[in-house]
């Protein structure tokens, strides 16, 4: 802090300036936003022409401004008043030329806190303190964000890699797909969204993010705990929210196991809107060596993975105007479907998946309408047994309207899901929901309470609620220190997926009734401590959590193949903690979770598969003159891999993974070049994220990213 | 197949007459003791309860659950991860359990000793798609195990000695989809499902018995006309083979179509001809046969393709007629097994002990497996937890 204040102490703050850098972000998620529009308010009450911000940050004239963006409440702020004082919120004198004004826009459905003045929307920060990975602020929730630019500096080149680097996230991948588990939940209990649009396949309940290009994303947020109001059904364990961000960039990456990746993004302003496009192509051989511990000899055999290659192509288009935002995303990928390590029967099998997402939103007079369509298709080919080739296509459509009435947020929508697949599988159903919530926020705390009712298929009305309280119990402004405590309780529901419904009745004639999975109680007590220290800003957050789920939908072998059933009660209890230090030269953070996730059915006590009792991770980033050195550490304790009683013989062993990266950032005129060299799994740990499917050992990658600076 | 006389073949053929039916349970029970102990005093011993019950947990945490004839305690022999085991049945010969993983789980042979709890796993030829395994010879830590290789159309003969690397030979040209085999009269007899197992298990023709002499290359084929099923198996008693198969159904699309129910046949091995074929009741699917220690055959099947209720047929060995009237008021062809409250119990993979008590397994919520024992009248007399994901059972 002292060094950052040096220019101010030298009197530079008194130099006259006529512009300042304005950054726009989502008030809830803290995600940087592109496509906002800014206009200067004239003294006599008029308003100047709207300027579209092609980046999340841009130089704007000092004065009274109005900022708006589709889907958000417009805000007015007076930068002249702010910069004239030349003071940060902490009272420190800063140089306006080195200052970033951060304005947080509130989604239309959220209540905007009462403003004490026209400039209260802006938080004035010295440039040096602007963090690329500001954490999301959600009442009484553990929420963490990661910015894509920061991730690239850590050598991360894929969306899967981005999620793997998120604290509290546990990734699983068997045959190229990527699923996420958070807070001891099964993968289908985690909602993954892209700009608010669910990515979970209605047929399986799973969301695969492996085909999303990093070039189209700006940030990723992970929010732990059930989110019935925001994400709705399916978000029992938490939400991973991906945010797109138009940019001008090009990136190329080569790496171990035949990895090649090129991607690019471009945007321009025209016809009153920001238009953007991105595309990517990635391929990899994935022919890594692995230890086949399933061999019959008793000793692991060193083998090489075959038919594990993949190639994916994506394209994304979009426009953001004053009232309308449109986006479309299409991807196609093909990969080998090699089986478990000891099985050669699938060596020739291939799959091709295609995904199309289209979304539009319209905002007017404080009311926002959002519509989206998602199409997922999968073709599975078995050259040695063509009669077993299979095709599946799922489609989902949603429309909702959101707004506020006084202090109450309102949202309602309808939708439909359908799936058709080989073998005569055909399922469809309609959906409808209504949400209302009340929020109260102040500098001393917040209250967020709401209820939701879903009607899905024939399951009738499915109510759920959420209540969160947060209170700053201690605050020391001079030291920017605070102690916040919070509590949250919620209910949630997850209806059977379309495949659940189909396979719950193997005979197809007499449908076995499958009930929705109900989170009776998702409770959390949280405390958060933040303080500025001589080393840098320190934050510490910890939670104790409990979740009780009735009628958990779990697949077990039935009388004719596997089928899902409502089995018993699933209980989770545990604790989460994260500490983070943000010195000027970088960041150090560490997280830790302890969970006891157990399904009880009759006399059986079954730990939730793939949930570690103990897990943790850490991150170290050091920046010096454009050079960034980072280390990412992940530790997973023993993970049960069957839906059977706890038995060490059926657990994956503890694994420690370490990624290291070195990157160098060079700015040439308006272009920034980032060159990154990374070592993934640097210690060459032999491990499996899914039993029987080996993960790669040590790998390397070199990437170059060119980014146009606004 | 459940060969009772692996220590030596007794001439039981004369006993198959109707007059001797009442003696047969006693003789078979005693013969089992002969097999295990080599004792000649079998005919003077009364029927004994089973020495133990072996349940194969085929899913989730594959392995064996071993139970005693009474009490609730059990012990386990673990086989491995679910990706490495997918057998739906096993063979128990003396104290040796044999089971195999198909091509979808790595083509593996599992050999377990239920006395010591030891287990050994052997790799079979890749993509050979093993079916039944049989203990052909075994003593002093050495064993010769045969395995029917469906996709290879062959029988593998694996020699195992202690912990040494096993050696194997192969009997080629053993049918289109050999699923079981036995040795009789200096020849290997292959039960050929006659199905396209390499692709989709579609049936090509009737089940066949293929006789392969130990010397020479000739093949004699006995077609069991009218018998269909991709999971055929055999039980050999003296000169007679009891061959059973599950039937033919189309599961590729909804609604499922039953083309033919399962059946069981008696085959005269000496004269190489089919003596009798008995179809399972109309509408049923399946036909996995075991021989009870009471001298009856027990066939597990599904009542229909609508609700897949598991049923157990009790079949007389001499004429393959169904034993109905269990309990006496029952009108069904299968055993009407009831619990203490009189509610019908559905369970599969059944086998009776020498006292005529039917033992079977049933999977409940979360695939928790129960061993259920019924008295000769079909009333439940014992229910005990028996692991999870149970698929097969055998009495020792």
A568/B307 Cβ within 8 A? no
A559/B363 Cβ within 8 A? yes
Nearest to B366 among A297, A424, A606 (CB): A606
B59/A296 Cβ within 8 A? no
Three-class SS of A519-571: EEEEEEEEEEEEEECCCCEEEEEEEEEEEEEECCEEEEECCCCEEEEECCEEE
Query: A268 touching B, CB under 8 A?
Result: no
The whole-number pLDDT of residue B44 equals: 53
CA dist., res. B190 & res. A683, Å (int): 52
A507/B307 Cβ within 8 A? yes
Q: How far is A562 from chain B (nearest CA, A)?
A: 10
For residue A652, the chain B residue with the least C-alpha distance is: B81
Q: How far is A550 from chain B (nearest CA, A)?
A: 14
Which residues, other chains included, contact A243 with Cβ-Cβ below 8 Å and sequence gap of 6+?
A26, A29, A31, A32, A33, A194, A195, A217, A218, A219, A220, A221
Task: Kindly tell me the burial class for residue B227, based on how many C-beta atoms sit within 10 Å of its own C-beta (0-12, 13-18, 19 or more).
Answer: buried
A606/B127 Cβ within 8 A? no
Nearest to A387 among B58, B121, B199 (CB): B199
Q: How far is A348 from chain B (nearest CA, A)?
A: 12
Q: DSSP assignment of A572-597, as one string?
A: EEEEEEEEEEE-TTEEEEEEEEEEEE
User: Which value, to the nearest 10 degrees, does the dihedral of the CA atoms of residues B18, B19, B20, B26 take?
Assistant: 100
Q: Residue A84: which pLDDT band, with cuts at 50, 70 and 90?
A: very low
Q: How many residues does chain B have?
A: 396
**Cα–Cα nearest to B209, from B259, B201, B217, B184:** B184
Average pLDDT, chain A: 85
For residue A554, the chain B residue with the least C-alpha distance is: B366
Q: Could you tell me which residue, A12 or B270, shows the higher pLDDT?
A: B270
Q: pTM for this structure?
A: 0.84
CB B368 within 8 A of CB B362: no
The whole-number pLDDT of residue B118 equals: 93
**A265 forms bridges with which residues in the sheet?**
A249, A278
CB A666 within 8 A of CB A626: yes
Query: B110 touching A, CB under 8 A?
Result: no
Q: Is the pLDDT of residue A12 over 60?
A: no
Residues of A in contact with B58 (CB under 8 A): 557
CB A188 within 8 A of CB A182: no
**Cα–Cα nearest to A241, from A136, A362, A108:** A136
**Cα–Cα nearest to A245, from A309, A284, A194, A208:** A194
Q: How many helices (H) and strands (E) does chain B have?
A: 1, 29
For β-strands A169-172 and A238-244, DSSP reports them as unpaired
Share in percent of chain A as helix, strand, coil (round to 5) = 10, 55, 35
CA dist., res. A185 & res. A569, Å (int): 14
B60/A644 Cβ within 8 A? yes
A423/B106 Cβ within 8 A? no
- Phi then psi for residue B104, to 5 deg, are -75, -10
Q: Which helix (H) or strand (E) holds A9?
A: helix A6-9
Q: Peptide bond preceding A60: is omega within 30 degrees of 0, i.e. cis?
A: no
Q: What is the pLDDT of residues A159-193, one digit of tens each?
A: 989 999 999 998 888 777 778 899 999 889 999 99
> What part of A 645-674 touches B (C-beta under 8 Å)?
645, 647, 649-650
B388/A604 Cβ within 8 A? yes
The whole-number pLDDT of residue A137 equals: 53
The whole-number pLDDT of residue A24 equals: 86
> What part of A 618-637 touches B (C-beta under 8 Å)?
none
Query: A509 touching B, CB under 8 A?
Result: yes
CB B259 within 8 A of CB B282: no
CA dist., res. A186 & res. A640, Å (int): 12
Residue B245: alpha-carbon gap to chain centroid: 11
The whole-number pLDDT of residue A41 equals: 84
Instruction: Give the N- to C-terminal CA distance of chain B in Å, as an integer.
Output: 15
Query: A506 touching B, CB under 8 A?
Result: yes
Query: Three-class SS of residue A398?
Result: strand
Per DSSP, A54 falls in state: S
The whole-number pLDDT of residue A174 equals: 79
Give the number of beta-carbon pairs within 8 Å between A and B. 134
The whole-number pLDDT of residue B305 equals: 86
ipTM confidence score: 0.83
Q: Residue A40: which pLDDT band, with cuts at 50, 70 and 90?
A: confident
Dig out the tokens for A505 from the structure: 């009745």
Dig out the tokens for B117 from the structure: 């709890």
For residue B105, the chain A residue with the least C-alpha distance is: A343
The per-residue pLDDT string of chain B (396 residues; one tens digit each, 9 = 90 and over) reads: 433 333 332 223 233 333 333 433 433 333 333 333 333 344 456 777 778 999 999 989 999 999 999 999 999 999 999 999 999 999 999 899 999 999 999 999 999 999 999 999 999 999 999 999 999 988 777 899 999 999 999 999 999 987 788 899 999 999 999 999 999 999 999 999 999 999 889 999 999 999 999 887 789 999 999 999 999 999 999 999 999 999 999 887 767 899 999 999 999 999 999 999 999 999 999 999 999 999 999 999 999 988 888 999 999 999 999 998 766 677 788 999 999 898 999 888 999 999 999 999 998 888 899 999 999 999 999 999 999 999 999 998
The whole-number pLDDT of residue A656 equals: 97
B308/A506 Cβ within 8 A? yes
The whole-number pLDDT of residue A512 equals: 60
Dig out the tokens for A212 from the structure: 């999303």
Query: Three-class SS of residue A82?
Result: helix
Per DSSP, B322 falls in state: B
Residues of B in contact with A510 (CB under 8 A): 306-307
C-alpha distances in Å from residue A211, one per residue of A208, A292, A382: 7, 28, 22
What strand order describes the sheet that includes B348-352? B348-352, B358-363, B368-374, B380-388
> What part of A 531-570 touches B (C-beta under 8 Å)?
554, 556-560, 562, 565, 567-568
Say which residue the tokens 């700015």 belong to: A667
CA dist., res. A535 & res. A3, Å (int): 12
B59/A557 Cβ within 8 A? yes
């Amino acid at each position: 802090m002292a060094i950052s204040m040096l220019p101010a102490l030298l009197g530079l703050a008194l130099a006259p300036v006529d512009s300042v850098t304005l950054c726009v972000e989502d008030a809830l998620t803290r995600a940087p936003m592109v496509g906002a529009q800014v206009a200067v308010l004239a003294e006599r009450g008029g308003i100047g022409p709207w300027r579209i911000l092609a980046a999340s940050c841009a130089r704007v004239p000092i004065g009274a401004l109005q900022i708006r963006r589709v889907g958000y409440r417009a805000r007015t702020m007076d930068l002249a008043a702010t910069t004239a004082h030349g003071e940060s919120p902490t009272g420190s004198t800063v140089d306006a030329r080195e200052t970033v004004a951060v304005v947080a826009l509130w989604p239309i459905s959220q209540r905007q806190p009462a403003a004490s003045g026209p400039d209260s929307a802006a938080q004035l920060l010295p440039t040096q303190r602007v963090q690329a990975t500001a954490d999301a602020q959600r009442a009484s929730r553990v929420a963490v964000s990661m910015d894509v630019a920061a991730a690239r500096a850590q050598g991360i080149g894929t969306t899967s890699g981005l999620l793997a680097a998120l604290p509290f996230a546990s990734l699983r991948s068997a045959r190229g797909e990527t699923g996420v588990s958070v807070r001891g939940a099964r993968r289908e209990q985690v909602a993954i969204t892209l700009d608010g649009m669910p990515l979970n396949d209605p047929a399986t309940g799973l969301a695969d993010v492996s085909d999303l290009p990093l070039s189209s994303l700006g940030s990723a947020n992970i929010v732990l705990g059930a989110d019935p109001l925001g994400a709705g059904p399916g978000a029992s364990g938490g939400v991973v929210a991906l945010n797109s961000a138009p940019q001008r960039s090009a990136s190329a990456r080569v790496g171990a196991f035949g990895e090649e990746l090129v991607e690019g993004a471009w945007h321009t302003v025209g016809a009153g809107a920001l238009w953007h496009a991105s595309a990517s192509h990635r391929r990899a051989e994935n022919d890594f060596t692995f230890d086949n511990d399933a061999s019959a000899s008793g000793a692991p055999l060193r083998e090489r993975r075959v038919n594990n290659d993949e190639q994916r192509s994506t394209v994304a288009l979009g426009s953001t105007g004053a009232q309308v935002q449109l986006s479309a995303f299409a991807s196609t990928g093909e990969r080998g479907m090699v089986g478990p390590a000891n099985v050669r029967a699938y060596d020739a099998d291939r799959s091709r998946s295609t995904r199309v997402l289209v979304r539009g939103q319209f905002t007017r007079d404080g009311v926002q309408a959002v519509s989206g369509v998602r199409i997922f298709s999968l073709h599975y080919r078995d050259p040695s047994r063509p009669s077993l080739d299979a095709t599946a296509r799922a489609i989902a459509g949603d429309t909702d309207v959101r707004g506020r009435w006084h202090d109450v947020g309102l949202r309602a929508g309808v939708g439909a899901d359908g799936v058709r697949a080989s073998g005569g599988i055909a399922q469809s159903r309609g959906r409808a929901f209504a949400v209302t919530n009340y929020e109260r926020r102040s500098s001393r705390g917040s209250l967020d309470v709401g209820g939701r009712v879903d009607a899905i298929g024939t399951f009738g009305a499915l109510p759920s609620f959420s209540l969160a309280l947060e209170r700053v119990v201690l605050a020391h402004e001079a030291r920017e220190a605070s102690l916040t405590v919070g509590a949250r309780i919620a209910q949630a529901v997850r209806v059977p997926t379309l495949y659940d419904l189909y396979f719950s009745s193997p005979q197809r004639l007499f449908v076995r009734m499958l009930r929705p999975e109900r989170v009776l109680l998702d409770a959390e007590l949280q405390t958060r401590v933040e303080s500025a220290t001589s080393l840098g800003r320190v934050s510490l957050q910890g939670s104790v959590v409990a979740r009780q789920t009735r009628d958990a939908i779990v697949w077990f072998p039935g009388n004719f193949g596997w089928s899902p059933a409502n089995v018993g009660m699933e209980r989770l209890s545990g604790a989460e903690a994260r500490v983070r230090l943000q010195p000027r030269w970088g960041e150090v953070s560490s997280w830790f979770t302890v969970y006891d996730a157990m399904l009880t059915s009759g006399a059986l006590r079954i730990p939730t598969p793939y949930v570690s009792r103990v897990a943790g991770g850490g991150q170290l980033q050091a920046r010096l003159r454009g050079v960034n050195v980072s280390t990412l550490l992940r530790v997973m304790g023993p993970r049960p891999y069957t839906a059977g009683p706890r038995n060490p013989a059926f657990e994956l062993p503890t694994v420690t993974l370490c990624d290291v990266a070195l990157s160098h950032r060079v700015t040439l005129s308006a272009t920034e070049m980032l060159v990154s060299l990374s070592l993934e799994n640097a210690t060459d740990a032999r491990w499996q994220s899914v039993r029987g499917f080996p993960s790669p050992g040590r790998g390397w990658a070199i990437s170059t990213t060119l980014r146009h600076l606004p | 197949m459940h060969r009772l006389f692996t220590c030596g073949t007794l001439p039981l053929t004369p006993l198959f007459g109707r007059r001797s039916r009442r003696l047969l349970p006693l003789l078979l029970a005693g013969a089992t003791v002969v097999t295990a102990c080599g004792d000649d005093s079998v005919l003077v011993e009364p029927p004994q309860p089973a020495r133990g019950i072996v349940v194969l947990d085929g899913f989730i945490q594959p392995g064996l659950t071993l139970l005693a004839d009474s009490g609730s305690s059990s012990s386990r022999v673990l086989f491995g991860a679910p990706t490495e085991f997918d057998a739906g049945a096993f063979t128990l010969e003396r104290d040796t359990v044999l089971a195999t993983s198909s091509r979808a789980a790595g083509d593996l042979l599992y050999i377990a000793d239920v006395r010591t709890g030891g287990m050994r796993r052997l790799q079979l030829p890749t993509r050979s798609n093993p079916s039944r395994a049989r203990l052909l010879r075994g003593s002093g830590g050495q064993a010769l195990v045969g395995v029917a290789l469906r996709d290879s159309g062959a029988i593998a003969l694996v020699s195992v000695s202690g912990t040494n690397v096993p050696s194997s030979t192969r009997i080629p040209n053993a049918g289109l989809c050999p699923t079981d085999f036995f040795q009789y009269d200096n020849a290997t007899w292959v039960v050929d499902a006659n199905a396209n197992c390499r692709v989709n298990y579609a049936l090509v023709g009737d089940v066949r018995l293929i006789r392969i002499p130990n010397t020479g290359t000739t093949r004699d084929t006995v077609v069991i006309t009218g018998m269909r099923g991709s999971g055929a198996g055999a039980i050999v008693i003296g000169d007679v083979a009891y061959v059973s198969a599950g039937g033919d159904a189309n599961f590729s699309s909804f609604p499922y179509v039953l083309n033919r129910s399962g059946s069981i046949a008696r085959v005269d091995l000496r004269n190489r001809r089919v003596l009798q074929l008995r179809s399972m009741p109309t509408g049923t699917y399946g036909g996995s046969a075991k021989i009870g220690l009471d001298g009856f055959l027990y066939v597990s099947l599904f009542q229909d393709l609508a609700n897949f209720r598991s049923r157990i047929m009790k079949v007389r060995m001499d004429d393959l007629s169904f034993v109905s009237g269990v309990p006496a008021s029952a009108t069904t062809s299968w055993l009407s097994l009831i619990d203490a409250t009189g509610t019908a119990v559905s369970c599969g993979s059944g086998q009776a002990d020498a006292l005529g008590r039917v033992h079977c397994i049933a999977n409940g919520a979360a695939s928790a497996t129960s061993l259920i024992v019924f008295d000769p009248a079909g009333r439940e007399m014992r229910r005990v937890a028996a692991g999870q994901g149970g698929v097969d059972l055998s009495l020792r």
